[in-house]
Amino acid sequence: MSAQIFPRNANAIFLASLFGLVMLIIGTIAAMVGFYLSPWYTDVGVAKAQPVPFSHKHHVSELKIDCRYCHATVEKAAHAGFPATETCMSCHSQVWTNSPLLEVVRTSYQTGEPVVWNRIYDLPDFVYFNHSIHVAKGIGCSSCHGRIDQQQLAAKAQPLYMGWCLGCHRAPEDHIRPREEVFNMEWDVNSLSLAERKQLVIEYQIPTDGRLTNCFVCHR
């Protein structure tokens, strides 16, 4: 009988090592996916530092200022636009005139140098997004920006992953609303039945033949 080369527990050691390796790989993948979906990577819910601590809650919810007063091009251009300092000073030349929080705004107004804001929704260069077409098709501000009217400091509400965008493009009836409700932050999609929302999709001529999921729609 030949001598046994491997110890009797060699098979058990091999199987345990193999199991440990598999679990390590699974754990690593799970950790990577978890990080990819977490606020540390997506910045969802994380308010960025800004030159002026602008509160949407105060201006929109409390003062009832319409979104379009500051984001003046949202209905007619790809970009919603940042307000010019003159827009800010149309109010703040009369109120909070000496507040240190608005020193940056006053300096900008006097020098003509624009305030440099830190963009919250910063899409990659290979992604094309047009605000005006979404507004025209009955997609409300809160569908992408969440209840920004309740935010003291602006933070991203959605990760803007491609799968999230495609979810709306595949089923616009889940998000559509009457055009007159686009800027209503409190509007609930369940205010209309599914049949009524599907009718809006037809009325607003939103394609449902798969064209909205073609690559060229967002990648140009």
Number of neighbours of residue 36 by Cβ within 10 angstroms: 12
Say if residues 105 and 113 touch (Cβ distance below 8 Å). no
Check pLDDT > 60 for residue 1. no
Helix (H) or strand (E) holding 196: helix 194-203
- Split into its structural domains, the chain has a count of 3
> Which tens digits make up the pLDDT trace of 32-72?
888 888 888 888 999 999 999 999 999 999 999 999 999 99
80 φ/ψ angles, rounded to the nearest 5 degrees: -70, -25
User: What share of the chain in percent tops pLDDT 90?
Assistant: 82
Closest CA to 148 of 36, 70, 84: 70
CA distance 136 to 59: 24
Please indicate, yes or no, whether residues 188 and 213 belong to a single structural domain of this protein: yes
Please indicate, yes or no, whether residues 177 and 99 belong to a single structural domain of this protein: no
Please indicate, yes or no, whether residues 133 and 150 belong to a single structural domain of this protein: yes
Please indicate, yes or no, whether residues 27 and 74 belong to a single structural domain of this protein: no
Please indicate, yes or no, whether residues 74 and 92 belong to a single structural domain of this protein: no
Q: What is the DSSP string of 159-194?
A: ---HHHHHHHHH-GGGTB--GGGTT-TT--GGGS-H
Please indicate, yes or no, whether residues 77 and 87 belong to a single structural domain of this protein: no
Say if residues 119 and 112 touch (Cβ distance below 8 Å). no
Check pLDDT > 90 for residue 167. yes
Output the pTM of the full model.
0.82
CA distance 43 to 37: 10
User: Is residue 185 in a domain?
Assistant: yes
Range of the domain at 102: 83-116
Check pLDDT > 80 for residue 106. yes
